[in-house]
């Protein structure tokens, strides 16, 4: 990579890659592995911790005192941002959209435990309220630093270009372990996938990167990822270009909408838990795993394929009131 970016050490890296033999046998499909970014270590971990290493370094270089970002009530990104702010002695303001619950649970409980200030809004008003919050915080002399939704800008995406370098090195260091033909994971704001596809090009990963959309139409997400990957490549001094057609997205598993867990997500969560002792979340990894399972059953992958499921974290959402009964049910 031509440009070396400043970063602060937050995550426990490299995160391990583990086989999923019991799940592979139960599904009768490809050889499955999992990349454990749920173990990055910051307040229950997750993929946003990697992004925050670069975003926090940028915030520090600007002398910022307060982190501001936005997300849904059970946002994993907001929870990790609040934890990073606490760890580095910064203020944190979270603009959350949705109806305030009677009592905090899951990620929202952790946001408050970590000391974040919460501002409530609606999904249509999110960006407007986020800007108003930033402006008011700046006027108050708190030197805010704005982290985009999902941490998905060039810095956040660059984190996952480096993550691909890490993954390639792990397989190269294990002669008996063949590099996967497919990497499958949840995709939404696009930063993780943009970084992955760019990192695959830079560091010579020959496999395919498949994002399972949790909330967006295929074309929308393909365009978003390609655009961000191109911006990140330029930011890093790389002459690499992507078109939307270069981005693999499957948007067949949107169910009843973002954050609405149905039977496919419930089954996926139970299969990973009872067969491998691993916890998925209801919104992102549960939906992506449901898509992976259906693709295996429908013959999308061959039995000889090696597929890596990239676990982006999010297990605290399992303890949100709205999901507990569904999991138990």
Chain segment 101-135, per-residue pLDDT in tens: 988 999 999 999 999 999 999 999 999 999 999 99
Q: Is the pLDDT of residue 76 over 70?
A: yes
pLDDT of residue 324: 77
64 lies in the same domain as 164: no
Asked if the structure places residue 6 within a domain, the reply is no
Q: Is the pLDDT of residue 328 over 70?
A: no
Tell me which DSSP letter residue 39 carries.
Answer: G
Domain boundary among 150, 180, 212: 150
Asked if the structure places residue 3 within a domain, the reply is no
Cα separation, 329 vs 325, in Å, equals: 6
Q: Which domain holds residue 186?
A: 17-46+152-328
233 lies in the same domain as 99: no
Query: Count of CB atoms within 10 A of residue 258's CB?
Result: 15
Asked if the structure places residue 100 within a domain, the reply is yes
Asked if the structure places residue 1 within a domain, the reply is no
Cα separation, 20 vs 106, in Å, equals: 27
245 lies in the same domain as 318: yes
Query: Count of CB atoms within 10 A of residue 201's CB?
Result: 18
65 lies in the same domain as 194: no
246 lies in the same domain as 183: yes
Asked if the structure places residue 83 within a domain, the reply is yes
300 lies in the same domain as 163: yes
133 lies in the same domain as 272: no
Taking only Cα atoms into account, the Rg of the chain, rounded to an integer number of angstroms, comes to 19
116 lies in the same domain as 31: no
Active site residue 75: yes
- Among 24, 64, 75, 213, the one annotated catalytic: 75
Cα separation, 326 vs 329, in Å, equals: 5
Chain segment 131-162, per-residue pLDDT in tens: 999 999 999 999 999 999 999 999 999 999 99
pTM score, whole prediction? 0.96
Mean pLDDT, residues 60-71 taken together:
97
For residue 138, the domain's CATH number is: 3.40.50.1100
């Amino acid at each position: 990579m031509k440009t070396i970016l400043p970063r602060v050490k937050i995550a426990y890296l490299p995160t391990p890659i583990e086989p999923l033999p019991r799940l592979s046998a139960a599904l009768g499909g490809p050889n499955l592995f999992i990349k454990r970014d749920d173990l990055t270590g910051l307040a229950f971990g997750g993929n946003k911790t990697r992004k925050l290493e670069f975003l926090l370094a940028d915030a520090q270089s600007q002398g910022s005192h307060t982190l501001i970002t936005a997300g849904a009530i059970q946002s994993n990104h907001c929870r990790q941002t609040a934890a990073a702010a606490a760890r580095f002695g910064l203020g944190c303001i979270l603009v959350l959209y949705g109806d305030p619950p009677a009592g905090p649970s899951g990620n929202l409980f952790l946001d408050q435990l970590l000391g974040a200030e919460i501002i409530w809004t609606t999904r249509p008003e999110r960006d407007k309220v986020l800007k108003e919050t930033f402006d008011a915080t700046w006027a108050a002399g708190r030197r805010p630093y704005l982290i985009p939704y999902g941490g998905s800008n060039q810095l956040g995406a660059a984190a996952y270009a480096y993550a691909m370098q890490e993954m390639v090195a792990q397989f190269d260091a294990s002669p008996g372990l063949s590099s996967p033909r497919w990497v499958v994971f949840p995709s939404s704001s696009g930063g993780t996938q943009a970084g992955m596809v760019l990192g695959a090009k830079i560091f010579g990963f020959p496999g395919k990167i498949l994002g399972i959309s949790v909330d967006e139409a295929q074309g929308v997400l393909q365009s978003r990822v390609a655009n961000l990957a191109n911006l990140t490549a330029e930011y890093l001094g790389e002459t690499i270009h992507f078109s939307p057609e270069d981005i693999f997205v499957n948007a067949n598993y949107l169910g009843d909408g973002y954050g609405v867990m149905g039977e496919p997500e419930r089954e996926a969560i139970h299969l990973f838990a009872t067969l491998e002792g691993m916890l998925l979340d209801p919104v992102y990894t549960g939906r992506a795993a449901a898509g992976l399972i259906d693709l295996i059953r429908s013959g999308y992958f061959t039995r000889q394929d090696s597929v890596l499921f990239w676990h982006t974290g999010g297990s605290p959402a399992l303890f949100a009131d709205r999901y507990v009964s569904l999991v138990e049910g």
